A and B are shown apart, each in its own frame.
Chain A
Amino acid sequence: MIETDITIIGAGPVGLFTVFEAGLLKLKCHLIDSLAQPGGQLTEIYPKKPIYDIPGYASVNAGELIDNLLEQIAPFKPGYTLGESAVSIDKEENGDFIVTTNKGTEHRSKAVIIAGGLGVFQPRKPPVANLEKFEDNGVEYIIKEPNLYKDKDVVIAGGGDSALDWTIYLVENEIAKSVALVHRRASFRGHLDSVQKVMDLADAGKIDLITEAEVTDLYGNEKLEAIGISKNKEASVTRNTDHFVPLFGLKPTLGPIADWGLEIEKNAIKVNTIDYSTNREGIFAVGDVNQYPGKLKLILCGFHEATLAVQSVFSLVYPEKKNVLKYTTVNGVSGF
């Protein structure tokens, strides 16, 4: 069991900065994030985009801001549970919270701060009937274990780098029996060398490249047996396959947060702006995941919210101690 003062759900910019402000108050933090790396949207979606409204920076790239935050919080040695998403928050009799992830990792803490942004990143699912029926029975959105496709017929859909790269991988390593790549357009916008490689494989007859086409139907009983592919919106043609792998990137969804007994408004967690506390004592919500009158979804507002939230956490963890505002210019930063 991982034990700290605060479990922070979400390792985006606001979750990371929470570690800093908590650290100044001698509160130790552990971060959980569904993505494999810290940074949330900033590193997952737009690492190269400049941000112009971080005080003190005329311009800073999103990825660089995250690097800087990681450096800033390093003295406070936060723990990380990455690549796992928080699924439940249980309160023990002594008031401690236990946050459990989808992989069963448990985190004990005195308080929980949800900095979940837009939610958990999940694969974008194409609008195909019966898709969910065949999930894990022939339909996978992420290739975790390439050997699953050993000697199988596989259809990959998508036009981005992951669709191109996995097509190449499954063929060049002679894993799949057959590979077809279905893409809605005639051309690909992925890396040029990947595109060229896929074209070469198609010319050599090693893959079926089916462009200007979409997968429109799925057939099978328990397991996926065939799919329907429609070219130029004409009637679909059936193709036997063991696997269908749609690779259309990730999108955030609120996910299990909606089931934690928290008051939800406008797809976000309602908080009290005194300290960004939720309706459950000891659970706070900061950043894009919260909602209050006048809310602005800005990183800089999230930083402010986190700073106030940890003051209340301090009173919760050390009810007998007085908390005095200290300036880092006077005291510096002393880590753990």
Chain B
Amino acid sequence: MADNMVTVHIIDREGVQHDLEAPTDMNMNIMEVCRSYELPVEGRCGGMAMCATCMCYLKSDHELPEQSDSELDMLDEAFFVEDNSRLGCQIQISDEIDGIVLELAPEGN
């Protein structure tokens, strides 16, 4: 694989897994990567952790950075939240997340 690329595995709402290549040097996050591959992720607020339409469930044992207050605030008010809920827009594409598995949360937030 080219330098500066990692693979992220996104399970869509039909249960189909998409193996996506994502660049680590474009300041992108999971929400943006999903949208660039035209997966059904709305990202209504544009990535400010203010809508939860990019919520997903962490299915692999990757250690992610601690969640920010704004992410936790949003998850507090969101629907379909589980212990492994994360906002896709708050997960930066980096070497550390290579191979991560995330499942898209249901629509309705």
Contacts and interface: CB of A to CB of B under 8 A. Distances in A.
Interface stretch (B1-9, B13-21, B60-68, B74-82): B74-82
* Size bin of chain B's contact surface: 10 to 19
A249 B51 CA distance: 10
B77 A248 contact: yes
Contacts of A159: 76-77
A197 interface: no
A126 B45 contact: no
Contact of A251 (B48, B51, B80, B106): B51
A46 B81 contact: no
A189 B44 contact: no
Nearest to B50: A45
B46 A297 contact: yes
A189 B48 contact: no
A293 interface: no
B93 to A, nearest CB: 21
A257 B41 CA distance: 22
Q: What secondary structure prevails in chain B residues at the interface with A?
A: loop
A158 B45 contact: no
A239 interface: no
Q: What secondary structure prevails in chain A residues at the interface with B?
A: loop
Contact of A249 (B48, B77, B80, B81): B77
Contacts of B51: 251
Interface in A70-90: none
A269 to B, nearest CB: 17
A45 B48 CA distance: 10
A280 interface: no
B108 A127 contact: yes
A118 B44 contact: yes
A185 interface: yes
Interface residues of A, number: 18
A184 interface: yes
A252 interface: yes
A22 B109 CA distance: 37
A61 to B, nearest CB: 13
Contacts of B25: none
B49 to A, nearest CB: 10
B64 to A, nearest CB: 20
A191 interface: no
Contacts of B80: 127
B96 interface: no
Contacts of A49: 48
B51 to A, nearest CB: 7
B41 to A, nearest CB: 14
A220 interface: no
A160 interface: yes
A295 interface: no
Interface in B27-60: 44-46, 48, 50-51
A243 B50 CA distance: 28
B73 interface: yes
B31 to A, nearest CB: 14
Interface of B: 44-46, 48, 50-51, 72-73, 76-77, 79-81, 106, 108-109
Given A46-B50, A248-B79, A251-B44, 13 more contacts: A45-B45, A45-B48, A45-B50, A46-B48, A124-B109, A126-B79, A127-B79, A158-B77, A184-B76, A184-B81, A189-B72, A189-B76, A251-B51
Interface of A: 45-46, 49, 118, 124, 126-127, 158-160, 184-185, 189, 248-249, 251-252, 297
24 contacts: A45-B45, A45-B50, A46-B48, A49-B48, A124-B77, A124-B79, A124-B109, A126-B79, A127-B79, A127-B80, A127-B108, A158-B77, A159-B76, A159-B77, A160-B77, A184-B81, A185-B76, A189-B72, A189-B73, A189-B76, A248-B77, A248-B79, A251-B51, A252-B44
